[in-house]
Amino acid sequence: MILSEKGVPLRRRSGVPFERRLTTYPQYLALVALSSKESQTVSELGERLHLESNTLTPLIKRLEAAGLVTRTRDKQDERVVRLGLTSAGSDLAKTALGCVPAEVLKATGMDEAALKTLNSNLAKLGAALRDPAAR
């Protein structure tokens, strides 16, 4: 709960204008995740973002409507939908990756090492909460 409470003010204070870039924070996270691998399935993206398909599908549709993402059926298994970034989506992901971390550092007053430590600890916390055996 504390992390959710802090997320909104951090996004407001960071000065990162997601709306001007046609994305929301969850869409930014999806763009970043999609930029790390050329093609991935909806299921893979859902696992990376820890989102269920009923939450992920509208997000993907908005990104597709904005011309940032493409959805194609897998050639070997047409039940599988593959996602990829358009050139506009790739450009936007690169721009966001260049400015968002700097804006977060500025908004929090943390240095890069402290932010990396926090990120690592939050990842461990998330893994432990999702899978108690991972402790």
d(C-alpha 120, C-alpha 135), whole Å: 14
Domain of 75 in residue numbering reads as 2-108
- Secondary structure E strands in 27-131: 40-41, 69-73, 81-85
* CATH number, domain containing residue 13: 1.10.10.10
Residue 125 lies in a domain: no
123 burial level (CB within 10 Å; 0-12, 13-18, 19+): exposed
2 burial level (CB within 10 Å; 0-12, 13-18, 19+): exposed
pLDDT in 10s for each residue of the chain, 135 residues: 345 444 555 555 555 555 455 567 788 889 989 999 889 999 999 999 989 989 999 999 999 999 999 999 999 999 999 999 999 999 988 888 777 777 778 888 888 898 889 888 888 888 888 776 755
Q: What's the pTM value of the predicted model, to 2 decimals?
A: 0.72
Our count of domains for the chain comes to 1
Residue 15 lies in a domain: yes
Give the residue from 91, 120, 92 showing the smallest Cα distance to 28.
92
